[in-house]
Amino acid sequence: MKILIMDIDITLKGGVARVVSNLANALSKTHQVDILSVYKKNELFFEVDKEINVYFLNDKEQKYTSKDIYRKYKYNVLLYLLFKLKFKYKYFYERMQIYFQNKKIKQFSLKYDVIINNNYFLFNQKNFEKVKTIQIMHGNFIYYSKDLLKNLKYFNTLVILSNKQINEWKKYHKNIQVIPNFIPSILEKSNDYKQKNVLSIGRFELNDEKGFLRLIEIWNLVQKNKKYQDWTLTIVGEGDLKNTIEEKIKENNLENSIILKAFTKDIEKEYLNASTYVMCSHYEGFPMVLLEASSYALPIISFDINTGPSELIENEKSGFLINDGNLKEFAKKLCILMDDESLRKTMGGGAKDIVKVKFSKEVIVKKWEKLIAKT
């Protein structure tokens, strides 16, 4: 079967690009798989098998002026004014940039049997009338507007990553499949739990969705106790919030215990150099970083937000789930792990077992093959 997997920009360093690459590589063993990326800001960050064709509609992120938008929507004055104020209304402006790609996208759709879409702003139902379409919803249900959710009916199948919000999704689509993300391989390398390093990975978004600012506050609470001052917190990430993160680190005099690093292809090194993983996100879909941390047998502490962590962490068995917003409790549980090497090893082993049973490539790809066969 000929399958096209679509994304906004496969060269980005975030979780969606990683999921797209993993899925394309897995399905290419039994199907002809291509990737269509609207933009190419960088070179490919995640490895894609050589038999997969990667197409780019633009060599870089294309920008349209407010005049272009006016010519397209000159009878809708309100919409034009919104897009003219593009910096204040960045979200709307970016959506319009994508809309202008629809004609190019249509040229690709006709030669495929199935399209797996990863950003439904790329979708125009007129483009895909003759092709079976699957939409993966990577985000949390509560962050999608009702107007956008209504467009989901045009897809043949909706794939969500978690059972937690399935009743909400069912209000907008009759054919829903739950297929979580997977780990392409689970290594047998062992961590050294004697290492006094805590790890956290994610994008530095301006809205701080990954919660790094509150992670710094938690680390400040931990560092007030002198017994933990030989521990370090390594944060791996990039983004527009970096300056704010650096300023907060300085304000709390944590420059000697918090290490900031850019994303790296050798991310395995960062996992192996840690003995505990922490995530402070305000919201998630199905976090790949928790799957990866678990596959490296790291115990995990996370806030128990709406979706994501509770499906990967067994509280007090593979890590700790903390009531969202309770920074003191988070710091307390982190100190418990930092105090106990044996507990880190036991919980880390539990985390790895969960991944092997529920989220291995073999387990999840079977679900994808079954879905594709009946789509």
pLDDT tens sequence across 199-227: 999 999 999 999 999 999 999 999 999 99
Is 259 within a domain? yes
Instruction: Give the pLDDT score at 99.
Output: 63
Domains contained in the chain, number: 2
Confidence of residue 123 (pLDDT cuts 50, 70, 90): low
For residue 205, the domain's CATH number is 3.40.50.2000
Is 75 within a domain? no
Is 247 within a domain? yes
For residues 292-321, average pLDDT: 95
Shared domain for 136 and 174, answered yes or no, is yes
Shared domain for 58 and 202, answered yes or no, is no
Full residue range of the structural domain in which residue 20 is found: 2-62+101-181+361-374
Instruction: Give the pLDDT score at 154.
Output: 82
Does residue 352 or residue 80 have the better pLDDT?
Answer: 352
Is 81 within a domain? no
Q: Is 54 helix (H, G, I), strand (E, B) or coil?
A: strand
Instruction: Give the pLDDT score at 62.
Output: 46
Shared domain for 156 and 241, answered yes or no, is no
Is 85 within a domain? no
- Measure the CA angle with vertex 202, ends 357 and 22; round to 5°: 45
pTM of the full predicted structure?
Answer: 0.83
Shared domain for 124 and 235, answered yes or no, is no
Shared domain for 304 and 320, answered yes or no, is yes
Phi, psi angles (nearest 5°) of residue 203: -75, 145
Does residue 370 or residue 79 have the better pLDDT?
Answer: 370
Residue type, 178: V
Does residue 168 or residue 253 have the better pLDDT?
Answer: 253
Shared domain for 172 and 249, answered yes or no, is no
Instruction: Give the pLDDT score at 8.
Output: 84
Confidence of residue 331 (pLDDT cuts 50, 70, 90): very high
Shared domain for 367 and 342, answered yes or no, is no
Shared domain for 146 and 39, answered yes or no, is yes
Confidence of residue 18 (pLDDT cuts 50, 70, 90): very high
Confidence of residue 260 (pLDDT cuts 50, 70, 90): very high
Mean pLDDT taken over the chain: 87
CB under 8 Å, gap of 24 or more: what pairs does 25-32 form? 25/49, 25/52, 25/184, 26/182, 26/184, 26/361, 26/365, 26/368, 27/3, 27/365, 27/368, 27/369, 27/372, 28/52, 30/369, 31/1, 31/2, 31/3, 31/372, 32/1, 32/2, 32/3
Is 82 within a domain? no
Shared domain for 255 and 288, answered yes or no, is yes
Distance in angstroms between the alpha carbons of the first and the last residue of the chain: 11
Shared domain for 172 and 207, answered yes or no, is no
For residues 265-289, average pLDDT: 94
In angstroms, what CA-CA distances link 284 with 15, 129, 244, 303, 304?
11, 32, 21, 11, 10
Shared domain for 141 and 26, answered yes or no, is yes
Does residue 74 or residue 58 have the better pLDDT?
Answer: 58
Instruction: Give the pLDDT score at 326.
Output: 98
For residues 135-151, average pLDDT: 80
Is 84 within a domain? no
Is 256 within a domain? yes
Q: Are 100 and 58 in contact (CB under 8 A)?
A: no
Shared domain for 125 and 240, answered yes or no, is no
